[in-house]
Every structure is written in structure tokens, then in C-alpha cells.
């Protein structure tokens, strides 16, 4: 049953904007469409929906939200395991899972309404997570122990905060600002997603501790819970804006952009590759993945600095995330984000390409990747066989292939000899 009230009409407006942007092929149109769907429950969560949401709807939102959260987490874990089983990295999924669980924990703490306890628990939890993460990833090596110690030091701030909340709030603010400037988050670097969340969590702890030190805190009651909700709303909004901006335009930022000529000053030479971390290795010690510190040629393919490369056990280029749109074997492949994995066959031939422009390949008009089209099943990566023959693409215009008429947006498949594969 559709409830036609102010929120309904507002959601319709947001949805319409999303559709218009989608037609204009702006990828962030999806954000508006999702926003329209989530408008009512989101307004309710922050007590901004007034009488537009009644208590039964609240209960329904709460239960369905919990189920949706569990579904998203299970899906993310499943997809991460699938990636790992295929020998690929699953960093985006780990980030998603981490942010989901942390957000739930933080909001849960804030909803309890005991701000000092909230601040203390957040600080201790962040410290313990840093320590465990350091020990798990670096073991009992010097860096592992050092970072682990720093994590414990951070956690100890939580215990001090019980007695000196304002002082620790100030310290946490300084730490958050230090992270912002160290990682240059203000430049919307792609690293921003997980790190931005860490900064927001620390700032939330700082604000919680600061507010809890007010003399009127104990009498603040409902007023305080409203301010807490406002803080959470602002923090989540800011987080989404920064996350979205870092994904959408971060790599286009001129300040941040590494050009093919630019060379990172600090790099490590591994197996002949000038690379910067993070590094992954196979069990036999061979390099598995790294980021190129400068323009480099792998498996005969020149790749720009900043490209994340994944190598096979034999040291051949397996796949990469291009730092910027790059011409690979005559095809302009999309870079910019981890969403576009350019794959290679063992013989070095291009296997998977996310085209950055419409191209005619072997006489077939292939379309560049369009996010919105892919949502409706029309778009995907362009694929090739190891003999260089086009395997799959989405048509960029109407075409007649081997006597068969196809329309723009139709997917077409070919066998290794270039013969059209007709689906029965």
C-alpha cells in the first residue's frame, strides 16, 4: 500500500531526478534512486519523519532493516570468499563488511545514550582492532609489534577517558586530524573509504566524550539523544559524501593524479618491478600483487604508475586495476577505480576490458561500459580469446552480423574463430 504524503512526493522527486541523471548516463544516478527508496526509513531513523511513520511501521522497518543487514553481510562474505577462492583480492568486500559491522556497533552504542561509556568503548575497540590487525597481518615482526603497541596505547586512552573525557576528546580530535593530513583524505584519495570511516569513528568518540563531560549531561535526557541522532546523521551523511566523492571523482583529482611520467619517490624494487605497497606474496615468496611506482612494462604491456597489478605464480601479468584510462593492445580500457579489472591471458593477450569509449573491434561496434546499462543486464566487460579474437561485447549501435539484425545494447558472443554464437 502506497502512502501518499509529503515523504512520498519528496521520494518521487528524488527518484525522478535519479531517472533523469540515469538517462544522461551519470553513474551516480543510482545514489538518487536508492535514496528515494530509503528516504522514509532514513528520516524515521533520525526522528525527522514526524507523524509520517507510525510505531507499527517503525517495527517493520526495524525488523526488515535487520534482515537486510544480515543479507548484505552474508552476501559480502560469500562474494569475498568467492574472490579469494579465485585467487583474487577481496578488499572492497572486507571494507564493506568492516564498515557495516562497525557502523552497527557504533550506532548501537550511541542509542544506549550513555555518551561517556560510548566514547570509552569506541576508543578501546578501535585500539584493540588496530593491535589485532597489526599482529594478524605483520605477525611478531618489529612493525607488527610496534603498531600493535600503538593500538594498545590508543586503547588505554579509553580507560583514561573515563576520568578525563575532555582531555581525551581533544587528543582524539588531534589524532583524527593527523590521520586526515597523513593520508591526505582532504584530497579525496581512494584510500578514503576505510580510513574516512576510522576518522569518523574516532571523531564520534571525541564528540561523545566531550558532550558527556558537560555538567548538564545527566539531565539532558531526550534533548541529548536528539543531538546524538543529529551527530550520527551528520557523520553518516559526511561519510557517504566523502566515500562517494572518493569513488566517483577522487581519481580524477588533478592534485592526486599520478601521470604516466610521474615516479613515486619511495618505492621498493621487487622482481624487477618498482612497486609500492600493499604487497601480497604467494606462499613460495613470489610477488602476487603490488602497485606500480612508475610507468612499467609487464608481460609486454606498458602500464601507468599507480596501477594495481596481480601476477600469476609464473610472474606473468594476470590482471590489473589501471590507475587511469589506458590504451591496452589498441583498446582504451577504463581505470579510475577497483570496479574495472583488466584481465590478461597467460600468453599476455588481453582477456577482459572495460572499454572507456565505443570502439569498432574486428568489425563489431562495441559499446563502452555504462554502469546504468549493466544494471539492466545490457552491459558487461568486453572479452577476448587468447588468440585475440573478440569473444563478447555489447553493441554500441544497431548492426547486422552474419545476416542477423541486432539492436544497440544487445550482447553478442563469438567463438574462437570469430563466428557468431546464436543462443537457442
Partner 1 sequence: MKTNLRKFRFERGELSQQQLADMVSVSRQTIVAIEKGNYSPSVKLALLLAKKLETKVEELFELEEKDHD
Q: Tell me: does residue 222 bind partner 1 (CB under 8 A).
A: no
Task: State how far the Cα of 232 lies from the Cα of 212, in Å rounded to an integer.
Answer: 16
Query: Interface with partner 1 by CB under 8 A: which range of 51-59, 124-132, 282-290, 342-350?
Result: 51-59
Q: Tell me: does residue 47 bind partner 1 (CB under 8 A).
A: no
For partner 1, the closer CB: 65 or 143:
65
325, 333 contact by CB (below 8 A):
yes
Report how far Cα 198 is from the mean position of its chain's Cα atoms.
Answer: 14
Least Å distance between CB 258 and partner 1? Answer: 55
- The single residue listed with the C-alpha cell 536528539 is 226
Least Å distance between CB 220 and partner 1? Answer: 22
141, 165 contact by CB (below 8 A):
no
Q: Tell me: does residue 3 bind partner 1 (CB under 8 A).
A: yes
Q: Tell me: does residue 268 bind partner 1 (CB under 8 A).
A: no
Q: Tell me: does residue 1 bind partner 1 (CB under 8 A).
A: yes
At residue 274, the 3 state secondary structure works out as strand
For partner 1, the closer CB: 9 or 159:
9
Least Å distance between CB 56 and partner 1? Answer: 4
Least Å distance between CB 385 and partner 1? Answer: 57
At residue 15, the 3 state secondary structure works out as helix
263, 293 contact by CB (below 8 A):
yes
Residues in contact with partner 1, counted by CB under 8 A, come to a total of 8
Query: Interface with partner 1 by CB under 8 A: which range of 47-55, 101-109, 157-165, 234-242?
Result: 47-55
Closest CA to 320 of 220, 330, 301, 196: 301
Least Å distance between CB 50 and partner 1? Answer: 9
Least Å distance between CB 53 and partner 1? Answer: 9
Pattern 57-86, partner 1, x by CB under 8 A: x-x---------------------------
Least Å distance between CB 57 and partner 1? Answer: 7
Quick one: DSSP state of residue 387?
T
Query: Interface with partner 1 by CB under 8 A: which range of 37-45, 50-58, 234-242, 269-277?
Result: 50-58
Answer for which of 2, 24, 51, 140 binds partner 1 (CB under 8 A) is 51
Closest CA to 90 of 75, 103, 101: 75
For partner 1, the closer CB: 53 or 175:
53
Task: State the chain's maximal CA–CA distance in angstroms.
Answer: 82
Answer for which of 2, 4, 24, 55 binds partner 1 (CB under 8 A) is 55
Per-residue exposure over 409-423, b if at least 16 CB sit within 10 Å of its own CB, e if not? bbebebeeeeeeeee
Answer for which of 2, 4, 24, 56 binds partner 1 (CB under 8 A) is 56
Closest CA to 172 of 134, 135, 124: 124
Least Å distance between CB 3 and partner 1? Answer: 7
For partner 1, the closer CB: 104 or 226:
226
For partner 1, the closer CB: 4 or 283:
4
Closest CA to 322 of 310, 335, 332: 335
Least Å distance between CB 7 and partner 1? Answer: 12
Residues with Cβ < 8 Å from 121, sequence gap 6 or more? 109, 158
- The single residue listed with the C-alpha cell 532493516 is 65
Task: State how far the Cα of 336 lies from the Cα of 308, in Å rounded to an integer.
Answer: 11
Answer for which of 25, 54, 397, 416 binds partner 1 (CB under 8 A) is 54
Query: Interface with partner 1 by CB under 8 A: which range of 54-62, 300-308, 315-323, 373-381?
Result: 54-62
Task: State how far the Cα of 65 lies from the Cα of 255, in Å rounded to an integer.
Answer: 39
Tell me the chain's radius of gyration from C-alpha atoms: 25
Residues forming a β-bridge with 414: 420
Separation in Å, CA 121 to CA 110, 116, 191, 197: 11, 9, 26, 16
For partner 1, the closer CB: 3 or 6:
3
> What residues line the site for partner 1 (CB under 8 A)?
1, 3, 51, 54-57, 59
Amino acid at each position: 500500500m502506497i502512502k501518499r504524503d509529503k515523504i512520498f512526493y519528496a521520494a518521487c522527486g528524488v527518484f525522478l531526478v535519479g531517472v533523469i541523471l540515469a538517462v544522461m548516463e551519470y553513474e551516480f544516478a543510482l545514489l538518487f534512486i536508492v535514496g528515494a527508496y530509503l528516504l522514509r526509513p532514513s528520516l524515521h531513523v533520525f526522528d525527522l519523519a514526524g507523524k509520517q511513520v507510525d510505531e507499527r511501521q517503525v517495527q517493520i522497518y526495524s525488523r526488515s532493516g535487520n534482515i537486510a543487514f544480515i543479507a548484505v553481510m552474508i552476501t559480502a562474505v560469500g562474494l569475498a570468499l568467492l574472490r579469494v577462492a579465485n585467487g583474487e583480492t577481496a578488499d572492497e568486500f572486507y571494507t564493506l563488511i568492516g564498515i557495516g559491522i562497525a557502523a552497527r556497533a557504533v550506532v548501537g552504542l550511541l542509542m544506549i545514550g550513555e555518551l561517556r561509556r560510548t566514547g570509552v568503548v569506541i576508543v578501546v575497540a578501535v585500539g584493540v582492532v588496530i593491535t589485532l590487525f597489526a599482529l594478524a597481518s605483520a605477525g611478531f615482526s618489529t612493525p607488527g609489534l610496534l603498531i600493535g603497541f600503538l593500538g594498545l596505547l590508543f586503547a588505554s586512552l579509553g580507560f583514561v577517558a573515563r576520568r578525563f573525557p575532555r582531555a581525551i576528546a581533544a587528543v582524539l580530535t588531534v589524532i583524527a586530524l593527523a590521520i586526515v593530513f597523513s593520508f591526505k583524505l582532504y584530497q579525496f584519495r581512494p584510500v578514503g573509504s576505510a580510513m574516512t570511516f576510522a576518522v569518523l569513528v574516532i571523531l564520534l568518540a571525541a564528540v561523545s566524550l566531550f558532550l558527556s563531560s558537560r555538567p548538564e549531561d545527566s539531565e539532558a535526557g531526550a534533548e541529548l539523544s536528539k543531538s546524538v541522532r543529529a551527530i550520527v546523521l551528520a557523520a553518516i551523511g559526511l561519510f557517504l559524501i566523502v566515500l562517494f566523492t572518493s569513488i566517483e571523482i577522487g581519481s580524477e583529482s588533478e592534485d592526486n593524479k599520478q601521470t604516466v611520467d610521474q615516479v613515486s619517490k619511495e618505492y621498493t624494487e621487487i622482481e624487477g618491478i618498482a612497486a609500492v605497497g600493499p604487497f601480497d606474496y604467494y606462499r613460495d615468496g613470489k610477488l602476487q600483487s603490488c602497485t606500480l611506482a612508475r610507468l612499467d612494462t609487464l608481460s609486454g604491456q606498458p602500464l601507468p604508475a599507480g596501477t594495481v597489478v596481480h601476477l600469476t605464480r609464473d610472474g606473468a601479468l594476470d590482471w590489473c586495476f589501471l590507475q587511469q584510462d589506458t590504451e591496452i593492445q589498441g583498446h582504451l580500457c577504463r581505470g579510475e577505480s577497483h570496479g574495472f579489472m583488466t584481465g590478461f591471458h597467460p600468453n599476455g593477450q588481453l582477456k577482459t576490458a572495460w572499454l572507456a569509449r565505443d570502439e569498432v573491434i574486428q568489425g563489431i561496434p562495441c559499446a563502452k561500459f555504462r554502469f546504468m546499462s549493466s544494471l539492466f543486464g545490457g552491459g558487461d566487460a568486453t572479452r577476448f580469446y587468447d588468440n585475440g579474437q573478440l569473444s563478447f561485447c555489447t553493441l554500441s549501435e544497431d548492426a547486422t552480423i552474419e545476416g542477423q539484425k541486432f539492436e544497440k545494447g544487445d550482447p553478442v558472443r563469438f567463438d574462437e574463430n570469430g563466428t557468431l554464437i546464436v543462443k537457442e
